[in-house]
Amino acid sequence: MRASRRARRGHVTSRARPGEAAWSLARGSVAFAMGPRVQLPPEIQLAQRLAGNEQVTRDRAVKRLRKYIVARTQRAAGGFTHDELLKVWKGLFYCMWMQDKPLLQEELGRTISQLIHAFQSTEARHLFLQTFWQTMNREWTGIDRLRLDKFYMLMRMVLSESLKALKMQGWEERQVEQLLELLMTEVLHPDSEAPSGVKRHFLEIFLEELSKVGAAELTADQNLKFIEPFCGLAARTRDPLVLHNITRGIFETIVEQAPLAIEDLMNELEAQDEEDGTSEDEEEPRGDSLRGAAPATREELAGDDEDSAGPVLQFDYEAVASRLFAAASQRDTPSQNRKRLYKVVRKLQDLAEGLFPEEDVPEKAYRSLRGEGQGRKKRLPKSGPHNKAGQGGKEDSCPDLSSGSEGIVRQRRRRQQRGSGAEQPGDPAGRGPQKRRRRPRAGARAKVANSREPQTTKQQAPQSQK
């Protein structure tokens, strides 16, 4: 009886458990089908940690990523594929996205941009830069206005570190061409699908970052290599915004920085003169008056250095004008592009002839040319005479294009001397004082005369009655 009850209970329990057994069997079959847990590739694991919520996790992921890059690119058969670096930059993008506080953003941006130096080969380094710009082009439209500034900063830092990599390689011509081709293809080419914000910001910071990195080393010919791709692109583009940004950010910036470039040149020449002067001082002692005047001059120069705008690139303006004219004069150049570029060409030709777009030469360069000390040596060599059409007499000398901007300073100084000698305050031929005189018009005199006549008639009328 009890056995039957147990049997019935067991039967009941066995009948009540088929669903549970089926569920357990299903779980077992699924677990058997899945097998062991699949391990994700290292790039995906790092990308997930880079986009984590905790700052400690993100910082550790950035450090591990640098070590991973160094270890993988050291092998001969190692390296990254294009898709792998896209995944890495996806994680780095959201690592920057999650970072708050300006100082921490700047530190993180510097750490991310310096990852380019962890790559041991040039090909891997260029692939890293290529995937960066592709990531920025893809994610740019999703960035809100509150996060734009830190991504602007990241673009500036990555461009600066890529130029520093060229500097470490001695500005090799082949490496420069590859980098410029990469930047033109991914940022400014019509097929790059780069947003206008990325293009505009890149054109605004290119010359600025190049001057910070290589102004002390690059020559005028090397600087011409850096801006040569922009000449052809400005002539061929069909986008008016790209044309405006290239003209304003590259060529007009060169024109505006011409006085500062000459000031830097004068600083270098002055430093050379000081070295020559110190060698002469050791041989011949100077008087007490000169010794007392030297410290004041140095203090003035130090004050001017504090107000300076930083290093400026040196350019051969005649070479830049000819290169830009050759690109703009092609048959397939749109008319609006040609008109805009021809205006820039005329400005560059004026600079090559010694005509500044601004009224005044920089104060420091002007003071250096005046020669505050009477015993100062001549810094600039003389050049041959040059007469302009439509003007009589002896005109400014032709600038020596091979010597850079020295001829421009010399011509500007001579033109100011002629102007100061021709316009004297007491000279009737001087135009300055005569322009300042204000003479009443004839109509005004007539009104004044008419206003006085009634008073005279009123006063004379009683006399006639008397």
Contacts of 263 (CB under 8 A, 6+ apart): 308, 312, 362, 364, 365
**What would the pLDDT profile of 362-390 be if each residue is shown by its tens digit?**
555 445 444 443 333 333 333 333 444 44
Residues 348 and 365 in one domain: yes
Q: Indicate whether 8 and 126 sit together in one domain.
A: no
- Section 77-82 average pLDDT: 83
| One domain, residues 182 and 325 | no
Banded model confidence at residue 354, pLDDT cuts 50, 70, 90? confident
Residue 250 shares a structural domain with residue 211: no
Q: What is the distance between the alpha carbons of residues 115 and 67, in angstroms, rounded to a whole number?
A: 10
Query: What is the per-residue pLDDT across 265-316, written as a single tens digit (0 to 9) for each?
Result: 666 667 766 766 665 555 444 444 333 333 333 334 334 444 445 778 989 9
Render pLDDT for 263-272 as a digit per residue (tens, 0 to 9): 666 666 677 6
pLDDT at residue number 311: 77
Q: Let me know whether 21 and 78 are in one domain.
A: no
Residues 15 and 72 both lie in one domain:
no
Structural domain of residue 26, as residue ranges?
2-34
Q: Which ranges of 284-362 does DSSP label H, i.e. alpha helix?
A: 288-307, 317-328, 335-353
pLDDT of residue 39: 83
Most confidently modeled of 15-24, 36-45, 79-88?
A: 79-88
Q: Which of 322, 317, 343 is nearest to 411 (CA)?
A: 317
Q: Which residue has the higher pLDDT, 338 or 423?
A: 338
Tokens of 176: 């420069």
CB 328 within 8 A of CB 342: yes
pTM for the predicted model, two decimal places: 0.65
pLDDT digits (tens, 9 = 90+) for 425-456: 444 444 444 444 444 444 444 444 444 444 44
The 10s digit of each residue's pLDDT in 100-110 is 999 999 999 99
State whether 181 and 265 are in the same domain: no
Whole-number pLDDT of residue 221: 94
For residue 40, the 8-state DSSP code is P
Residue 389: inside a domain: no
**Do residues 30 and 50 share a domain?**
no
| Residue 93 covered by a domain | yes
Q: Which letter, b or e, does each residue of 8-31 get, where b requires 16 or more Cβ atoms within 10 Å of its Cβ?
A: eeeeeeeeeeeeeeeeeeeeeeee
Does residue 338 sit in the same domain as residue 191? no
Say if CB 68 and CB 74 are below 8 A apart: no
Which residue, 363, 320, 370, 379, is CA-closest to 345? 320
Tell me the two tokens of residue 213. 């990195």
- For 5, 248, 274, the CA distances from 294, given in Å and listed in that order, are 120, 42, 11
Specify whether 185 is located in the same domain as 320. no
Cα R_g (the chain), whole angstroms: 37
Please give the tally of structural domains in the chain: 3
Residue 420: the pLDDT is 55
- The SS3 call for residue 35 is coil
Instruction: Say if residue 131 is in the same domain as residue 153.
Output: yes
